[in-house]
Amino acid sequence: MYKKIIVFEGIDGSGKTYHINEVSKYLTKKKIRFIKIREPGGSKNSEVIRNFILNKKSNLKKKTDLLLYLAARNENFENLIKPNINKKVILLDRFVCSTVAYQHYGFKINKSIIKSLNNFILGNIKPNFTFLHIVPPKNIKKNISGRKNKYDSFNKNFYKKVQSGFLKILKNDKNKYIIDASRTKKYNMEIIRKKINRLLRINDK
């Protein structure tokens, strides 16, 4: 079987978690072995770190957050990604792009430091394909009203900066597809399924 790392990216409330869950159901139906990892989170230790970073009372400094996101990523890399890379498809709900988009374009932490830390952890492992979800500006924040992690309280301008960061990071990446989050779930899922078929060489006839 053809193994791949497939990442779902986008700002909060952009629908990526819905799509990754639908893709998981599809791969299960097709009997394709995969693992699904959310970041931050994933492995046992990474979930502990997730709760530490994202709970509403957290008042960690932005550089502390960065180091914790990367600590959580390293736990996933060692425990989940590395052992499965040649065995299963790896689906990731957020990955390196999120760190550059939020910590650099959102919080202005030096980009080359973020890149070096990611290289330190991942070496030459990188995603084979990224689905980037883009939310039309008028809908930013609308989709996350009522949710409750610490990032949900940032203003619309912050999310605009992060979203344009995602677009800059992936601008010249040929292995990406931009999902318009304002289209229906059914429409988007149909496109994603076709891309997944091509990537994983699934014959869906």
| Candidate list 43, 46, 74, 98; residue touching ligand TYD; CB under 6 A | 98
Burial of 8 (0-12, 13-18, 19+ CB in 10 A): buried
User: Applying CB under 6 A, does 99 fall inside the site for ligand TYD?
Assistant: yes
- Which structure tokens are listed for 199? 């990537």
Q: Residues 55-94 vs ligand TYD: string with x where CB under 6 A?
A: --------------x------------------------x
Stretch that binds ligand TYD, among 12-20, 26-34, 167-175, 196-204 (CB under 6 A): 12-20
Size of the site for ligand TYD (CB under 6 A): 15
User: Applying CB under 6 A, does 46 fall inside the site for ligand TYD?
Assistant: no
User: Applying CB under 6 A, does 104 fall inside the site for ligand TYD?
Assistant: no
Which of 61, 65, 85, 80 lies closest to 1 in space, CA to CA? 85
Dihedral sign of CA atoms 168, 145, 154, 59 in order: negative
Name the one residue in this structure whose structure tokens are 């995969």: 34
3-state secondary structure of 66: helix
> Residue type for 93, please?
D
> Smallest distance from the beta carbon of 2 to ligand TYD, in angstroms?
26
Q: How many CB atoms lie within 10 A of CB 129?
A: 19
> Smallest distance from the beta carbon of 151 to ligand TYD, in angstroms?
3
Q: How many CB atoms lie within 10 A of CB 195?
A: 15
User: Applying CB under 6 A, does 158 fall inside the site for ligand TYD?
Assistant: no
Stretch that binds ligand TYD, among 36-44, 118-126, 180-188, 193-201 (CB under 6 A): 36-44
User: Applying CB under 6 A, does 8 fall inside the site for ligand TYD?
Assistant: no
> Smallest distance from the beta carbon of 205 to ligand TYD, in angstroms?
34
Burial of 163 (0-12, 13-18, 19+ CB in 10 A): buried
Name the one residue in this structure whose structure tokens are 């990731």: 92
Interface residues with ligand TYD (CB under 6 A) are 12-13, 17, 38-40, 54, 69, 94, 98-99, 102-103, 149, 151
